[in-house]
Amino acid sequence: MTLFSLFPARLLATCLTSVLLAVAVAAPVSASDDIDTSNATFAEAIQAVKDRDFRHAIKLFRLQAEQNQHDAQYNLALLLEAGKGAPQNFSEALVWAWSAKLGGIEASGDLAEDLLDMLPEDAVDDVREKVKQRLEDRIDAGNAPAVYQLAQYHLEIVEEPDFEMAYIWYSISTALGLPGSLEARDDARGNVDDEKIAELQGKAGTIYESLNITSD
Q: Is the pLDDT of residue 30 over 50?
A: no
Q: What are the C-alpha distances in Å from 62 to residues 16, 53, 79, 180?
A: 17, 14, 11, 28
121 pLDDT tier (thresholds 50, 70, 90): very high
Q: Choose the weakest-confidence range: 7-11, 93-97, 98-102.
A: 7-11
CB burial of 31-66 (b: ≥16 within 10 Å; e: otherwise) equals bbbeeebeeebbeebbebbeeeebebbbebbbbbbe
Closest by CA to 84, choosing from 1, 10, 7, 11, is 1
Predicted structure pTM score: 0.83
Q: Is the pLDDT of residue 29 over 70?
A: no
As a whole number, the mean pLDDT across the chain is 85
Q: What percent of the chain has pLDDT over 90?
A: 79
Burial class (CB in 10 A: 0-12, 13-18, 19+), 99: buried
Q: Which residues contact 45 (CB under 8 A, 6 or more apart)?
A: 56, 57, 60, 61, 64, 72, 75
pLDDT in tens, 147-188: 999 999 999 999 999 999 999 999 999 999 999 999 999 999
Q: Is the pLDDT of residue 129 over 80?
A: yes
**pLDDT value at position 164?**
98
Half-sphere exposure of 37 (CA within 13 A, CB side): 20
